[in-house]
Amino acid sequence: MNKIFISMIMLVLAFSSCYFMGSSNEGVIYYYGFDFSIGNLNSNFSKNDIIAIVDYNPSVENPLREPNIYLLLDTLSLRQNIKDYNEESFNYIDRIEPDLQFDSISNPIIAGHLYVMKCRDGFAKFRVLSITGPTLYKKEISIIYEFTDDSVF
């Protein structure tokens, strides 16, 4: 009897955690970028929210090649409009506050970290699940993400 009761509780908790987690999506960021609003690489590269994966810090004026990887969001400014929340839970961010200050210097992208970024047509929060690929041009960043065109996830 106790085993059935415990099984029922675990089943209810599993379903309720899926319900409260929201509608997160899975995606892969490739070398040539990613568009959060369509959930894939946009064939018109200029419309992608992430333009490329790079091996230098795009937030500094004189970038040096590094073993770390970064996301190139904008080729015109040094501001990256991305914020690293380290290993916070995915539901830690449920809305974008109007006074949110994005990091002025980009951090390297790290598996397990939660990020929020300003997109071309809204905001996205994403957790990096893994980073794979032997070379920069073959890197793949597996993510779960949510996109919003306003400020609420």
Cα–Cα distances in Å, from 145 out to 19, 60, 93, 128?
16, 27, 11, 9
The residue assigned the tokens 């919003």 is 148
CB 153 within 8 A of CB 114: no
CB 145 within 8 A of CB 36: yes
Q: What is the pLDDT along the chain (153 residues), one digit of tens a residue?
A: 555 544 444 444 444 444 444 578 999 999 999 999 999 998 888 889 999 999 999 988 888 888 999 999 987 776 788 999 999 999 999 999 999 999 888 899 999 999 999 999 999 999 999 999 999 999 999 999 999 999 999
What pTM value is reported for the model?
0.81
Question: What's the chain's length in residues?
Answer: 153
pLDDT tens figures, 49-77: 999 999 999 988 888 888 999 999 987 77
